[in-house]
Amino acid sequence: MKSYLLSWGRHRLELGRQTCVMGVVNVTPDSFSDGGHFLDPAAAVSQAEEMAAEGAGIVDIGGESTRPFSEPISTEEEIGRVVPVIEALAKRIRQPISIDTMKAEVARRALAAGAAMINDISAMTYDPEMVSVARAWDVPVVLMHMKGTPKTMQAKPVYADVTAEVCAYLLDAADRLQAAGITRCRIILDPGIGFGKTFIHNLLLLKHLQAFAEMGYPILIGTSRKSFIRHLVKGHRQTDIHPEHPLVETGTQATVTAAILAGAQIVRVHDVANTMATVKVIDAIRNADG
């Protein structure tokens, strides 16, 4: 397992020996994963505080749904959703808060409110100003692979070799940011499970995740409650199983285990308590000596 140190401002993340759990809070009315439970700012802050208390190393706040076929929202609406939550939360938890956005102005306002990381599913290609925001604030950035946009990404995505193509994309993205003045030690890579990938593409990326772990950057994996897991665990049910069904969480923990054993340093999840139990066991097995 490769180890990395991210140190900036008042934050310090040691990635490697202990897996870092990123807790997800969607301040949206239409998230696929939690059905808009946390659109109310007070509910979102409470959920994030609970995740921090349960052991999350990062709390990720997002104000725009990125589920397949979703419609974008305005910058103003996104700011209105996330900034009040981040302002309140930054005073209550010590963990770094990550802003999940593709928009530079949203990132800028979130960082000013107390966020300390940028999680951009477009790998900073959607908004040309995002790189300058990251450079100015000197914060860690998560660069994710996505084929198309949330609205188009699941329209029959095709790859000749999904692992090789996603690896190449992420390495190019990391090189592009470094050329623009972002230091290497601020970059985290995410293969983008479920973002422009078919059922088999997702399985192949997890199967061959070690290829990403060998690229020399911390790897973040977000499989939590994704549709490929729901498909696998629903058994003989004729309709899709609900994302919050216990079987889906069991499937999620299986993917978390696979990701950690293949070299992921950060796992992004909705259920922090269950994931912390998984992480403690898997990390103990990985680190056993004697």
203-260 pLDDT per residue, tens: 999 999 999 999 999 999 999 999 999 999 988 777 789 899 999 999 999 999 999 9
Quick one: pLDDT at residue 32? 53
User: What six digits make up the tokens of 181?
Assistant: 């003045």
Query: How many other β-carbons are positioned within 10 Å of the β-carbon of residue 283?
Result: 16
Is there a contact between 101 and 62 (Cβ–Cβ < 8 Å)? yes
Quick one: pLDDT at residue 236? 73
Quick one: pLDDT at residue 240? 83
Asked if residue 268 is part of any domain, the answer here is no
Cα angle value 276/281/284 (rounded, 5°) = 120
262 φ/ψ angles, rounded to the nearest 5 degrees: -90, -5
> Average pLDDT, stretch 192-210?
96
Tell me the sheet residues that pair with 117. 98
**290, pLDDT greater than 90:** no
User: In the chain, how many domains are there?
Assistant: 1
Asked if residue 253 is part of any domain, the answer here is no
> Average pLDDT, stretch 156-181?
96
Quick one: pLDDT at residue 66? 77
CATH number at residue 154: 3.20.20.20
Asked if residue 6 is part of any domain, the answer here is no
Local confidence band at 71 (pLDDT 50, 70, 90 cut-offs): confident
Per-residue pLDDT tens over the stretch 32-53: 555 567 778 999 999 999 999 9
- 143 by DSSP, 3-state: which? strand
Asked if residue 193 is part of any domain, the answer here is yes
Quick one: pLDDT at residue 99? 98
Encode 128-145: b = buried (16+ Cβ within 10 Å), e = exposed: eebbbbbbebebbbbbbb
Q: What percent of the chain has pLDDT over 70?
A: 95
**94 a catalytic residue:** no
84 φ/ψ angles, rounded to the nearest 5 degrees: -60, -35
Quick one: pLDDT at residue 31? 59
- Domain that includes residue 185, residue range: 21-222
Quick one: pLDDT at residue 30? 63
Local confidence band at 284 (pLDDT 50, 70, 90 cut-offs): very high
Asked if residue 274 is part of any domain, the answer here is no
The active-site residue, picked from 186, 225, 230, 268, is: 268
Asked if residue 135 is part of any domain, the answer here is yes
Asked if residue 172 is part of any domain, the answer here is yes
The active-site residue, picked from 226, 234, 237, 280, is: 226
**237 a catalytic residue:** no
Per-residue pLDDT tens over the stretch 83-119: 999 999 999 999 999 999 999 999 999 999 999 999 9
Is there a contact between 229 and 176 (Cβ–Cβ < 8 Å)? no
Mean of per-residue pLDDT scores for the chain: 93
Candidate from 130-139, 149-158, 264-273 with smallest mean pLDDT: 149-158
pTM for this one? 0.94
Quick one: pLDDT at residue 39? 75
Candidate from 24-38, 135-149, 154-168, 233-247 with smallest mean pLDDT: 24-38
* DSSP for residue 26: E
Asked if residue 189 is part of any domain, the answer here is yes
